[in-house]
Chain A
Amino acid sequence: MGVLYFILIVVAIVQLYPLVWLFQLSLKTNQEVFGMSPFALPKSPRWENYINAWFDGGISQYFFNSVWYTVVAVLLTLILASFVTFALTRMEWKLKGVVLALFMVAYMIPLHSTLIPLFNIYNKVNLIDNPISIILSYTTFNLPITIMILLGFYQSLPREIEEAAVIDGCSIHRIFFRITLPMTAPVLATTAIINMIYNWNEFVFVNTFISSEKWKTITVGVNNFVGQYLTDWGAIGATLIISILPILIVYLFLSDRIIEGLVAGSVKG
């Protein structure tokens, strides 16, 4: 038993300590970073590092961009994926199999192979350096996995209520919005969080399609900021902590739901 715990604890330290170290770093001055052991605690925590990163580093702008791209893309993905899943599991039509296959195969396609044409397409319709290109990309590339997670849930939902509603003369839209969609609230919460994590952390679309500072997200902004201020380790630490904090806070409250979603998403893929 002791050996087992030893293994688990060592792995836990390996997984967690780099983050603890990052947090310590975020409260240090350069003298402390370069003059003392990296394991040492900061003498007096320099919370100014956070204030500097937020104001001088322009992190606030990036942060709010990330918030609104993430929120809009998550909402769009959830509603579109719910529509498709409803049509795939509840409605009768011929091309169902083909459409499902198209979404499944899309999940396997490496997004980097689409990057050059996407850049060109967005360029032609004037969406380069425009948040719409980012939101469209997030929505589209998250649709396949979201549909796959929703499919499993929809298949397990009882159909009796919907059938009764049809007999009562309910329209299809009313059935979807008033009956089915509310019943999927638990899985929608899970997929929303999974989508949120992906969008918040996304790098390559923003790095490729966005050039102005005012439209950049926190992931790309942090990377540029760190590139410019390579020497101030405390500032870098604070910036990185700010960039991961929202997800960590959500995780603190909803970890079971996130784990559930990650498991559901991967095993179906």
Chain B
Amino acid sequence: MKNVMSNKVAIALYVLPSLLLVLFLIYIPIALTGYYGLMDWDGVGQMKFIGLENYKELIHDKLFWESTWHSVLLALFSVLSLVGYLIVSLVLASKIKGANVFRKIYIIPMLMSSVAIAQLWIKIFDPMNGLINSLFMMLGVEDPPLWLADPNMALYSVFVPIVWQYAGFYIIIIYAALINVPQELIEAARIDGANAFQIAYKIKVPLISGVLKVLIILAVVGSLKYFDLIYVMTGGGPGHATEVMASYMYKEAFGKFNFGYGSAVGFGLLVISMGTTWVIQKLLNTNK
């Protein structure tokens, strides 16, 4: 038994292809991102070593911090929407008939690409012929907002399709946790005279707090690296009103060919999202 299962050649054969892929396409690039950040480089010509110049510039770069702030706002917004998702999940898990059908409908947006969602919502937000403003005008609002075109509204407007896209995902996970809450506990509380709200707040939610913590981490990490939908919908604009860390990095590197500075931004993105993950894990005291 031991001999067969510790056959070194077989182990290497089974593990190495994947390990090499992950090393060469994830770990080495991550190290290179930090290294390229030390260079003045347009992506094609010679790299020129400039020490920490890019990183110094990054620290004083208002646009970088603005886009970081937008990413943080998205993270806060996503964590807040978890409350809404939790409420829907509680309703769904309250032994309601047809819960399965609702669950299946909710997840559908999650199956679409961010590109399709972005293009669809550009049309929904269209100031003249879009769904939202048509509804507003039907209700008698004369000057409905311009949504994506208005610098003060654009950031919050792009948050809406993000909440829409992930709603089903979070709901099914919370729902899966809720239906595993032991029925006896709920029955006991009911006999003691607790109402539905108390049962939810005092029994169900605390019992699934482990899953909720994981979801908070997922929401924060996902938000900090969020890119596709915003990039397609607004390209970070108008101005830089919807710029987030990843879109800023992408534009610096592949838009302006500042590969050195773009790498520094990419490294900043890595440090901020990994650092935040670590801090939140400590704060929530989970080992996930």
The yes or no verdict on A and B being binding partners is yes
CA of A24 to CA of B126, assembled, Å: 16
Chain A residues lying within 8 Å of B267, measured Cβ to Cβ, are 113
Q: Inside 8 A of A147's CB, which chain B residues have their CB?
A: 18
Task: State whether the Cβ of A149 lies closer than 8 Å to any Cβ in chain B.
Answer: no
Given A7-B88, A8-B102, A172-B5, are A22 and B120 also a contact pair (CB < 8 Å)?
yes
Q: Select A203's contact among B15, B27, B29, B115, beta carbons within 8 Å.
A: B115
With most chain B CB atoms within 10 A of its CB, the pick from A12, A112, A139, A220 is A112
* CB neighbours of B254 from chain A (8 A): 119, 208
- A contact residues around B120 at 8 Å (CB): 18-19, 22, 240
A191 interfacial contact with B, CB 8 Å: no
A208→B254 CA distance, assembly (Å): 8
CB distance from B151 to the nearest CB of A (A): 21
B259 within 8 A of A: yes
Task: Choose one: B96, B114, B215, B250; the contact of A112 (CB below 8 Å).
Answer: B250
Determine the chain B residues whose CB is within 8 A of the CB of A233 once the complex forms.
Answer: 123, 129
Q: Which residues of chain B from 239 to 260 have a CB within 8 Å of any chain A CB?
A: 246, 249-250, 253-254, 259
Q: How far is the CB of A108 from chain B (nearest CB, A)?
A: 6
Bound: A163/B1 CA distance, A: 7
Q: Assess the A15–B26 pair: CB atoms within 8 A.
A: no
The answer to the question of B30 belonging to the interface, with a C-beta cut-off of 8 Å to chain A, is yes
Count residues of chain A with CB under 8 A from any CB of chain B: 93
Annotate A75-118 by CB proximity to B: 1 below 8 A, 0 otherwise.
00000110110110011110000010011001011111111111
CB–CB B26/A114 < 8 A: yes
Q: Are B33 and A113 in contact (CB under 8 A)?
A: yes
A38-B130, A109-B26, A243-B116 are known contacts. Are A83 and B17 too (CB-CB below 8 A)?
yes
Given contacts A12-B102, A87-B11, are A114 and B172 in contact (CB under 8 A)?
no
**B157 contacts the other chain (Cβ, under 8 Å)?**
no
> Does chain B have a CB within 8 A of A11?
yes
Nearest CB on A from B210, distance (A): 9
| A143/B115 contact (C-beta < 8 A), A7-B88, A108-B274 known | no
The interface stretch among B60-68, B75-83, B104-112, B197-205 is B104-112
How far in angstroms is the closest Cβ of chain A from B98?
8
Interface residue B169 (Cβ < 8 Å from any Cβ of A)? yes
Contact (Cβ within 8 A) B221 A108: yes
Whether B269 lies near A110 (C-beta < 8 A) is yes
Residues of A within 8 A of B218 (CB): 266, 269
Counting CB contacts under 8 A, is A185 at the interface?
A: no
* B259 nearest in chain A by CB position: A116
A223 at the interface (CB under 8 A from B): yes
* B162 interface residue per 8 A CB criterion: no
B19 in contact (CB, < 8 A): yes
Q: Are B43 and A109 in contact (CB under 8 A)?
A: no
Q: Which residues of B contact A108 (CB under 8 A)?
A: 221, 274, 277
For B269, what are the chain A residues with a Cβ–Cβ distance below 8 Å? 110, 112-113
Task: List the B residue with the shortest CB-CB distance to A223.
Answer: B115
Chain A residues with CB below 8 A from B28, complex form: 117, 121
Do the beta carbons of B92 and A136 come within 8 Å of each other? no
Which of B141-149, B185-193, B224-232 is near enough to bind chain A? B224-232
The answer to whether A201 and B227 have CB atoms under 8 Å apart is no
Interface residue from A8, A110, A263 paired with B176 (Cβ < 8 Å): A263
Name B's A-contacting residues (CB within 8 A). Answer: 1-2, 4-8, 10-11, 13-15, 17-19, 21-30, 32-33, 36, 43, 87-88, 91-92, 94, 96, 102-116, 119-121, 123-124, 128-131, 134, 138, 164, 167-169, 172-173, 176-177, 211, 214-215, 218, 221, 224-225, 227-228, 232, 246, 249-250, 253-254, 259, 262-263, 266-267, 269-270, 273-274, 277
| 10 residue pairs, one from A and one from B, having the closest CB atoms | A201-B113, A117-B32, A117-B29, A110-B225, A114-B29, A83-B14, A92-B6, A113-B270, A87-B14, A140-B25
Q: Which residues of A contact B (CB under 8 A)?
A: 1, 4-5, 7-8, 11-12, 14-16, 18-19, 21-22, 25, 33-34, 37-39, 80-81, 83-84, 86-87, 90-93, 99, 102-103, 106, 108-121, 136-137, 139-141, 143-144, 147, 163, 166-167, 170-173, 175-176, 197, 200-204, 208, 219-220, 222-223, 226, 233, 236, 240, 243-244, 247-248, 251, 255, 258-259, 262-263, 266-267, 269
